[in-house]
Copies of this chain bind each other. A is one copy, B any other.
Amino acid sequence: MKQICVVYNPRIPQAAPLAEEVARWLEAKKLKVSLGSTEEPSPKPPVKDCDLLLVLGGDGSILRTAHAAAAHQAPILGVNLGRVGFLAEARPENWQDVVSSVLDGRHWVEERMMLRVTVRRGSKVVAQEDALNDAVVGRGTQARIIRLRVEIDGQPMTEYAVDGIVGATATGSTAYALAAGGPILSPEARSIVLVPVAPHLCAPWPLVLAEGSRILIAPTDGREAALTVDGDRPFELSPSDSVLVETSPLTTRFARVQEKEYFHRTLMARLVARRPD
């Protein structure tokens, strides 16, 4: 490894000073360092030429970096400055040990599936994005149920009367999909989870679909609806829009130093630690 990109969330007070400290520590090891921020209008992290992306922030910061990094090969290493996160590998107390291990090559790379989310308006593609966690087709501000038609692999399945439908990866299965009643998937699973949010007298069951499934979600009642990808700004849907969710050709890569069975061993602690009270 020659060049390391240090990305930090400027909204977290301790992130910028830590980024400085990490950068000096890396430069002392004769590594080239570039700095980036997860927030606009700061410059996007220059991920292209980096061998490792060190993210100082919470799961949200890692999600944003993942979007920038997915088209490249550099793995992400998260130093958790938020609540106990699902994606980070190090904490502020032990980042030097963890980063040292990675610089010495004593790590493995965990590859996580992403979703490709495409919005079609008639025959035209009007938006396309990749998701590490999830794509949600949901209601607008009014707390009122909308109707969404779902097709799987070109076959009509059912119409939902819901707040929204979440299409999630294994990675996203501990995020919004979990709140909606979905299952937790092992991180290596290349499945797609489909979970209705607040299903009103319609099919309430979460579905786990095989990699390669093509899920089409389309509003049918003309009400205000929006697409939210990885919790970012919503994209307003027109009544004739449809959203296709499928496996992305891109992946997110994480540098890990924990043993490969880390997920289930630490799962309960992570779930409980994130509780707000």
Contacts and interface: CB of A to CB of B under 8 A. Distances in A.
A155 interface: yes
A148 to B, nearest CB: 10
Contacts of A208: 173, 183-186, 189, 191, 208
Nearest to A193: B183
Contacts of A160: 276
A163 B142 CA distance: 12
A36 interface: no
Interface residues of A, number: 73
Interface in A144-200: 144-145, 147, 152-164, 166, 173, 175-176, 178-186, 188-189, 191, 193, 197-200
Interface string A191-231: 10100011111111111111001000000000010101001
A186 B203 CA distance: 16
B144 A226 contact: no
A75 to B, nearest CB: 21
Interface stretch (A38-46, A120-128, A246-254, A259-267): A259-267
A231 B143 contact: yes
Contact of A144 (B152, B205, B224, B228): B228
Contacts of A202: 275-277
A186 B158 contact: no
Interface of A: 136, 138-145, 147, 152-164, 166, 173, 175-176, 178-186, 188-189, 191, 193, 197-210, 213, 224, 226, 228, 231, 233-234, 236, 261, 264-265, 267-268, 271-272, 274-277
7 smallest CB-CB distances across A and B, nearest first, come from A179-B200, A136-B143, A143-B228, A183-B206, A152-B264, A155-B265, A179-B198
22 contacts: A139-B141, A141-B224, A142-B233, A143-B164, A144-B228, A154-B261, A156-B265, A163-B198, A176-B198, A178-B200, A178-B205, A184-B205, A184-B206, A185-B207, A186-B208, A186-B210, A191-B208, A201-B275, A202-B275, A202-B276, A204-B204, A268-B277
